[in-house]
């Protein structure tokens, strides 16, 4: 009976990435601890979030060792979806502002329902 050959990744890679995730999480928590404000705060939070997600996908989900075609099949569609969501957000803002410009503020005052 033939035994199945499997690909074995060195455990050191997993330990290093695990420690690196702790370091990146530390910096992510420091953003709140140091009271960053506004766009800097959200930019750093998103940056650290994407870095951690990238390490998890690449190493712990074994994406680093997959063929490029499979990597692109998995990673490209979410990028297109994010671009389409961004375009819809721009269009929604434009549509809302156009409606305000066209219709203006409502001056409708309902009349009382009683009859004399």
Q: Are residues 77 and 100 in the same domain?
A: yes
In a domain, 52, yes or no: yes
Number of structural domains (the chain) is 2
Q: Are residues 32 and 79 in the same domain?
A: no
In a domain, 47, yes or no: yes
- Using an 8 Å Cβ cutoff, are 24 and 52 in contact? yes
Q: Are residues 56 and 76 in the same domain?
A: no
Longest dimension (CA), the chain: 99
- Using an 8 Å Cβ cutoff, are 59 and 13 in contact? yes
Q: Are residues 42 and 88 in the same domain?
A: no
- Position 5 scores a pLDDT of 63
- Position 98 scores a pLDDT of 73
In a domain, 34, yes or no: yes
Q: Are residues 71 and 58 in the same domain?
A: no
Q: Are residues 14 and 61 in the same domain?
A: yes
Q: What is the pLDDT of residues 16-28, one digit of tens each?
A: 999 999 999 999 9
Q: What is the pLDDT of residues 59-112, one digit of tens each?
A: 988 898 889 998 899 889 999 999 999 998 888 777 777 777 677 765 556 676
pLDDT value at 1 more than 50: no
Kindly give, in sequence order, each residue whose CB lies less than 8 Å from that of residue 51, ignoring residues fewer than 6 positions away.
24
pLDDT value at 51 more than 80: yes
Kindly give, in sequence order, each residue whose CB lies less than 8 Å from that of residue 116, ignoring residues fewer than 6 positions away.
none
Confidence of residue 9 (pLDDT cuts 50, 70, 90): confident
Confidence of residue 115 (pLDDT cuts 50, 70, 90): low
In a domain, 111, yes or no: no
Q: Are residues 61 and 71 in the same domain?
A: no
Domain that holds residue 52: 10-65
């Amino acid at each position: 009976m033939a035994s199945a050959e499997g690909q074995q990744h060195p455990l050191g890679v997993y330990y290093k990435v695990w420690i690196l995730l702790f370091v990146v999480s530390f910096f992510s928590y420091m953003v709140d601890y140091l009271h960053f404000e506004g766009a800097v705060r959200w930019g750093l939070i998103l940056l650290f979030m994407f870095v951690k997600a990238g390490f998890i996908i690449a190493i712990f989900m074994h994406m680093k060792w997959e063929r490029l075609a499979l990597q692109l099949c998995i990673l490209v569609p979410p990028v297109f979806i994010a671009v389409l969501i961004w375009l819809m957000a721009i269009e929604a803002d434009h549509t809302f502002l156009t409606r305000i410009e066209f219709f203006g503020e409502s001056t409708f005052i309902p009349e009382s329902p009683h009859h004399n």
